Amino acid sequence: MALQFASRMDGLKGSAIRELLKIADKPDVISFAGGFPAPELFPVEGLEIVSKKVLEEDGRKALQYSSTEGFLPLREHISKLMEPQSLKADPDQILVTAGSQQGLDFCAKLFVNPGDVVITESPSYLGALNAFKAYEPKFVEVEMDEEGMLMDKLEEALKTNGNVKFIYTIPDFQNPTGRTMTIERRKKLVELANAYDVCVVEDNPYGSLRFEGEIHPAIKSFDTEDRVIYLGTMSKIFCPGMRIGWIYAAPAILNKFNLIKQGADLQCSTIAQRECAAFFDMYDINEHIKKIIDVYRRRRDVMVNAMKQYFPKNVSYTYPNGGLFLWVTLPEGMDSTDVFKKAMDKKVAFVAGEPFYPNGGNANHFRMNYSAMPDEKIIEGVKRLGEVLNELC
Amino acid sequence: MALQFASRMDGLKGSAIRELLKIADKPDVISFAGGFPAPELFPVEGLEIVSKKVLEEDGRKALQYSSTEGFLPLREHISKLMEPQSLKADPDQILVTAGSQQGLDFCAKLFVNPGDVVITESPSYLGALNAFKAYEPKFVEVEMDEEGMLMDKLEEALKTNGNVKFIYTIPDFQNPTGRTMTIERRKKLVELANAYDVCVVEDNPYGSLRFEGEIHPAIKSFDTEDRVIYLGTMSKIFCPGMRIGWIYAAPAILNKFNLIKQGADLQCSTIAQRECAAFFDMYDINEHIKKIIDVYRRRRDVMVNAMKQYFPKNVSYTYPNGGLFLWVTLPEGMDSTDVFKKAMDKKVAFVAGEPFYPNGGNANHFRMNYSAMPDEKIIEGVKRLGEVLNELC
């Protein structure tokens, strides 16, 4: 038969990362490719206790359908969790989603008609770009420096594009670059969004994983006109396998997300939400986050120190103050997929940079993850990668 | 600010059922409104055992990201689960989804451009209609009788509409009518789909919950040209709270669903999939299904017998051979929302019929659920409803 798919499927390709993970997932490969949190830090024992508790105390409710907006005690915990980012969220302004990935899909579904403009950082998170693409936007990229999106470039993009629906940004320890937007720029970004009457999608999976310095107030904390949509997730501070994230937004927007959620999958797992809430009742999540930070900070240092030792001098890289990733820049004209092929011969994997640019190009970059490998593998992997780079650069 | 949503949001309204459940959910209301399975049948003790097992044996993997297509041992169980419906599914042709609701959303996302035609039974499942609406189809309804969709009417619909993308059907114990499509019509439906080169979405949440007679072969079992997409779910035979369903389709279609799943939420809960698979390893799901059938069969009988006793003679209703619902027809010209208001005064709830018709009308019907209430409440609820009907009819 001749399958006639919708036109939105034309631009949809598999995530380079997800496809690559299948290759990189072999046990003998040292992989800096995924965005996996360190599994040895998952609170397995705590979850055993809470899952028993939830099933024993309220098992029949935990296995039944429940409300679309999500389990209220969990939404109360989520509200508290965002407080260090200077947010005071009414739990009624929170919708529980299947990870923040679902929030990304919903943002494009809510706002984007084919041809509408979405402004992104350049580069930006691949998974977001893939989610958005299903709604056929035009992507306008805004250049970054070490302090995040360049505000004059953002203003230019807003000025020269008529139908901008939202600005998409990952302000803290950005995926893929590891960069953080300064507080001044956060304020300026809200000003610009107000002036040009567009929404902001603030994707913040890593904000609380700060290794040094003060946690930055979320962009949403400067929102004076209810136009910032904040996306959060349990994936990096608790565990990704349960698929719990959230959207925090003003009622006029959140009500629409609720409708979208009803059509998309009715609700998130009742039992996962109750287990997550019970865990937050019984354990101090901030203590748990501190443990994660200590491990990731050390791994970042191990990786950066190994890069200093093994990488050629014409290869540069970012120095993230938190999160899971850093970003490597090769000399102009080089293609990181060439590096990737040779690295895979040496059983080392990373993600080539080009797919992070919505309109392509910029092949001389790649993303490195430092959260998922133990110290000695980070050193060994960077060493092997250094050999490849010294050969090619 | 002036929020500019995408045009797909124009037609999106809240599910009448989900909104209503908030009202009907009060403990003193006898509710025939939801589609809730009986919680007293949930295998809570079994789940306690398997959740402990999964966390103890493989906790770190269970809490980590995993593949988009789903946990292979679970897909193997799903394949076996479909065998009684004469299906032999390669586990590689199965994608695990967040309930079958997600499968419905994905079907429209994959096929429907604004204005494309989706053919549905008249009436059809409200949650499917809501999911499809986000992709702005034109709905063409096909009349049913007690044996399902009328095939001559279906052919007419195919003949007179150019851009039909798929035929949506719930062949077994249909929601909302409780009707089952005969085997002859299933074969005919595939013939027509072949002749007019359209896909079929077979939504089958209730097929194994048959109270009497033989389980019917799925429409997919007659599929000669890989054009039938089968949607299944654990919600009615296991529990809905874990949000596990699946799509079974040919590779050319399933690969596209995999891409959509990546963008939508990456994957289903790793731990829920492993728990579900472990439960199927340790327990006989068919024994469990038999227990559910015994209870629901009795409740159907209790409801139908009470209706015989208390409903006026000019009110008719279907007699389902399985599933969760039956369908009540009032005399022509009556509006079931009038009945609903008076019934709520007597603390009895059901779902008015009109929202089940994608193009509206047909207000003289309503849907009754018999799975979620104990016998004595069914009798008392139908009795009170009979009082309202005797007053109004």
pLDDT value, residue A236: 96
**Residue B17 reports pLDDT greater than 80:** no
**Residue A17 reports pLDDT greater than 90:** no
Residue type, A366: F
Task: State whether B12 and A259 contact (CB < 8 Å).
Answer: yes
Give which of B186, B264, B262, B255 is closest to B224, Cα–Cα.
B186
Report which DSSP code applies to A40. G
Section B100-120 average pLDDT = 97
Residues 184-203 of B with CB under 8 A from A: 194, 197, 199
On whether residue B3 sits in a domain, the answer given is no
| pLDDT tens per residue, range A317-346 | 999 999 999 999 999 999 999 999 999 999
Could you check whether the bond before residue B123 is cis, i.e. omega within 30 degrees of 0? yes
Q: What angle do CA A239, A277, B45 make, to 5 degrees?
A: 90
Query: Which of A51, A112, A116 is closest, CB to CB, to B51?
Result: A51
Section B342-359 average pLDDT = 95
**Same domain for B353 and B243?**
no
A342–chain B nearest CA distance, Å: 26
Q: How confident is the model at residue B5 (pLDDT cuts 50, 70, 90)?
A: very high
Query: Which of A110, A134, A269 is closest, CB to CB, to B242?
Result: A269
Section B97-118 average pLDDT = 97
Query: Considering chain B, what is the average pLDDT of its residues?
Result: 95
**Residue B219 reports pLDDT greater than 90:** yes
Task: State whether A256 and B133 contact (CB < 8 Å).
Answer: no
Tell which of B41, B161, B244, B265 to mutate to test the A interface (max A CBs under 10 Å).
Answer: B265
Section B279-302 average pLDDT = 97
B336–chain A nearest CA distance, Å: 24
pLDDT value, residue A393: 87
On whether residue A48 sits in a domain, the answer given is no
Section B212-224 average pLDDT = 97
**Residue finishing a domain among A243, A263, A282:** A282
On whether residue A56 sits in a domain, the answer given is no
pLDDT value, residue B20: 67
Task: State whether B252 and A111 contact (CB < 8 Å).
Answer: no
**Same domain for B227 and B360?**
no
Task: State whether A240 and B64 contact (CB < 8 Å).
Answer: yes
On whether residue A50 sits in a domain, the answer given is no
Give which of A371, A393, A355, A319 is closest to A125, Cα–Cα.
A355
The two tokens of residue A200 are 């902001």
Chain B hits for A135, Cβ within 8 Å: 6
**Same domain for B277 and B339?**
no
Chain A hits for B116, Cβ within 8 Å: 6
**Residue finishing a domain among A282, A311, A344:** A282
Section A226-244 average pLDDT = 97
Residues 16-45 of A with CB under 8 A from B: 18, 22, 34, 36-37, 39-40, 42, 44
Section B339-350 average pLDDT = 94
On whether residue A59 sits in a domain, the answer given is no
Query: Which of B47, B60, B62 is closest, CB to CB, to A40?
Result: B60
Task: State whether A63 and B47 contact (CB < 8 Å).
Answer: yes
Q: Which helix (H) or strand (E) holds A85?
A: none
**Residue B12 reports pLDDT greater than 90:** no
Cα radius of gyration rounded to whole Å, chain B: 21
Chain B hits for A269, Cβ within 8 Å: 241-243, 269, 272
C-alpha pair distances (Å), B53 with each of A271, B50, B279, B342: 17, 5, 10, 50
**Residue B38 reports pLDDT greater than 80:** yes
Domain that holds residue A328: 7-43+287-392
Task: State whether B241 and A105 contact (CB < 8 Å).
Answer: no
Query: Which of B2, B65, B263 is closest, CB to CB, to A131?
Result: B263
**Same domain for A200 and A268?**
yes
3-state secondary structure of A356: helix
On whether residue A70 sits in a domain, the answer given is yes
| pLDDT tens per residue, range A113-136 | 999 999 999 999 999 999 999 999
| pLDDT tens per residue, range B304-344 | 999 999 999 999 999 999 999 999 999 999 999 999 999 99
Query: Which of B51, B243, B253 is closest, CB to CB, to A3?
Result: B253
Tell which of B102, B244, B271, B274 to mutate to test the A interface (max A CBs under 10 Å).
Answer: B271
**Same domain for A310 and A374?**
yes
**Same domain for B171 and B316?**
no
Task: State whether A262 and B18 contact (CB < 8 Å).
Answer: yes
Report which DSSP code applies to A5. -
**Residue B358 reports pLDDT greater than 90:** yes
CB contact at 8 A, A181 and A220? no
**Same domain for A144 and A178?**
yes
Separation CA A297–CA A308 (nearest Å): 16
Query: Which of A39, A65, A252 is closest, CB to CB, to B63?
Result: A39
**Residue finishing a domain among B231, B259, B282:** B282
Task: State whether B48 and A52 contact (CB < 8 Å).
Answer: yes
Q: How confident is the model at residue A26 (pLDDT cuts 50, 70, 90)?
A: confident
On whether residue B2 sits in a domain, the answer given is no
Q: Which helix (H) or strand (E) holds A367?
A: strand A365-369
- Residue B343, domain CATH: 3.90.1150.10
Q: CA of B109: which chain A residue's CA is closest? A: A6
**Same domain for A320 and A270?**
no
Q: Domain count of chain A?
A: 2
Residues 282-301 of A with CB under 8 A from B: none
Say which residue, A35 or A170, is predicted with more confidence.
A170
Chain A hits for B133, Cβ within 8 Å: 263
Q: How confident is the model at residue A3 (pLDDT cuts 50, 70, 90)?
A: confident
Task: State whether B1 and A116 contact (CB < 8 Å).
Answer: no
Chain B hits for A9, Cβ within 8 Å: 110, 256, 259
Task: State whether B65 and A2 contact (CB < 8 Å).
Answer: no
| pLDDT tens per residue, range A62-105 | 999 999 999 999 999 999 999 999 999 999 999 999 999 999 99
Report which DSSP code applies to A137. P
Chain A hits for B135, Cβ within 8 Å: 6
The two tokens of residue A359 are 């309109």
Separation CA A23–CA B67 (nearest Å): 12
Please give, one letter per residue, the 3-state secondary structure of chain B: CCCCCCHHHCCCCCCHHHHHHHHHCCCCCEECCCCCCCHHHCCHHHHHHHHHHHHHHHHHHHCCCCCCCCCHHHHHHHHHHCHHHCCCCCHHHEEEECHHHHHHHHHHHHHCCCCCEEEEEECCCHHHHHHHHCCCCEEEEEEEECCEECHHHHHHHHHHCCCEEEEEECCCCCCCCCCCCCHHHHHHHHHHHHHHCCEEEEECCCCCCECCCCCCCCHHHHCCCCCEEEEEECCCCCCCCCCCEEEECCHHHHHHHHHHHHHHHCCCCHHHHHHHHHHHHHCCHHHHHHHHHHHHHHHHHHHHHHHHHHCCCCCEECCCCECCEEEEECCCCCCHHHHHHHHHHCCEECEECHHHCCCCCCCCEEEEECCCCCHHHHHHHHHHHHHHHHHHC
Task: State whether A36 and B253 contact (CB < 8 Å).
Answer: no
C-alpha pair distances (Å), A272 with each of A41, A79, A262, A285, A314: 19, 18, 18, 16, 47
**Same domain for B89 and B213?**
yes
How many CB pairs (< 8 A) connect A and B?
243
Chain B hits for A97, Cβ within 8 Å: 265
- Residue A91, domain CATH: 3.40.640.10
Residue type, B306: A
Separation CA B227–CA B197 (nearest Å): 8
Section A279-306 average pLDDT = 97
**Same domain for A183 and A260?**
yes
Residues 333-392 of B with CB under 8 A from A: none
On whether residue B377 sits in a domain, the answer given is yes
Transcribe A199-244 into DSSP letters.
EEEEE-SSTT-BSSSPPPPPGGGG-SSS-EEEEEESTTTT-STT--
User: Considering chain A, what percentage of its residues have pLDDT values greater than 90?
Assistant: 93
Separation CA A46–CA A48 (nearest Å): 5
**Residue A47 reports pLDDT greater than 70:** yes
Q: CA of B63: which chain A residue's CA is closest? A: A241
**Same domain for B124 and B244?**
yes
Section A142-159 average pLDDT = 98
pLDDT value, residue B3: 84
Query: Considering chain A, what is the average pLDDT of its residues?
Result: 95
Report which DSSP code applies to A284. -
Question: Lowest-pLDDT range, A4-13, A52-61, B69-78?
Answer: A4-13
The two tokens of residue A282 are 């019984």
Give which of A249, A258, A271 is closest to B279, Cα–Cα.
A271
**Same domain for A94 and A210?**
yes
Chain B hits for A101, Cβ within 8 Å: 263-266
Chain B hits for A61, Cβ within 8 Å: 39
| pLDDT tens per residue, range A175-202 | 999 999 999 999 999 999 999 999 999 9
B30–chain A nearest CA distance, Å: 18
Task: State whether A266 and B99 contact (CB < 8 Å).
Answer: yes
Chain A hits for B99, Cβ within 8 Å: 265-266
Task: State whether B3 and A44 contact (CB < 8 Å).
Answer: no
Separation CA B113–CA B135 (nearest Å): 7
pLDDT value, residue B21: 65
Residues 85-104 of A with CB under 8 A from B: 97-99, 101-102
Chain A hits for B98, Cβ within 8 Å: 98, 264-265
Q: Which helix (H) or strand (E) holds A307?
A: helix A285-310
User: Considering chain A, what percentage of its residues have pLDDT values greater than 70?
Assistant: 97
Residue type, A174: Q
Is residue A51 within 8 angstroms of chain B, CB to CB? yes
Section B167-191 average pLDDT = 98
Task: State whether B3 and A199 contact (CB < 8 Å).
Answer: yes
**Residue A239 reports pLDDT greater than 70:** yes
CB contact at 8 A, B151 and B205? no
Report which DSSP code applies to A326. E
Residues 223-262 of B with CB under 8 A from A: 225-227, 235, 239-243, 252-253, 256, 258-260, 262
